[in-house]
Amino acid sequence: MLAANCLKCHRVNGAGAQVGPDLTSVGQRFDSRAILQSILTPSQVIDPKYGLTAHVLNDGQVVIGRAINVGSNTISVETDPLRQTKVVVDRSTIEESFPAKISAMPTGLVDVLTAEEILNLLAILKYGNNPDAPPFGG
């Protein structure tokens, strides 16, 4: 989980950040196939609680991210949760805002993992740290 940067945005068993959903019990709600699909194609299904907003500005620029500070004149938009980059947008320059069709979770995060490490990640997400679970010999 560390190599793929999961804990920079997700909590698992009390460790990690709270940018994205807590993954502690994800294995009780979804099967392994759905979990893997969410990892490989995170924009396919986006929980509205963690959705991003696209802001189209009057100069044609599009700023996509999560509002982290909304003031009367500006909105601070976190554009990259891993790097914690933000863009401050003057609200008067926003022509349109709508839910973005991309996830905050970037694709390709597991590209740094071997096939065995991906299977181990799936087992941890599916079964937690239960030593009696099937993939761990139970």
* Coil, strand or helix at 96: strand
Asked whether residue 110 is domain-assigned, the answer is: no
Burial annotation 18-57 (CB, 10 A radius, 16+ → b, else e): ebbeebbebbeeeeeeebbebbeebeeebeeeeebebbbe
Q: Read off the pLDDT band of 22 (50, 70, 90).
A: very high
Tell me the CATH number at 88: 2.30.30.100
Residue 42, in any domain of the structure: no
Tens-place pLDDT, residues 103-123? 988 889 889 999 999 999 999
User: Residue 117: CB partners within 8 Å, gap ≥ 6?
Assistant: 3
Q: Give the pair of three-digit tokens for residue 47.
A: 């929980």
Is residue 62 in a domain? Answer: yes
Question: What pLDDT is recorded for position 135?
Answer: 55
Query: What gap in Å lies between CA 121 and CA 127, rounded to an integer?
Result: 10
Domain span at 58: 52-102
Q: pLDDT for 48-83, tens place per residue?
A: 888 999 999 999 999 999 999 999 999 999 998 878
Between CA 29 and CA 6 the distance in angstroms is 18
Q: Is the pLDDT of residue 42 over 90?
A: yes
Q: Classify residue 84: in a domain, yes or no.
A: yes
Please, are residues 105 and 80 in contact by the beta-carbon 8 Å criterion? no
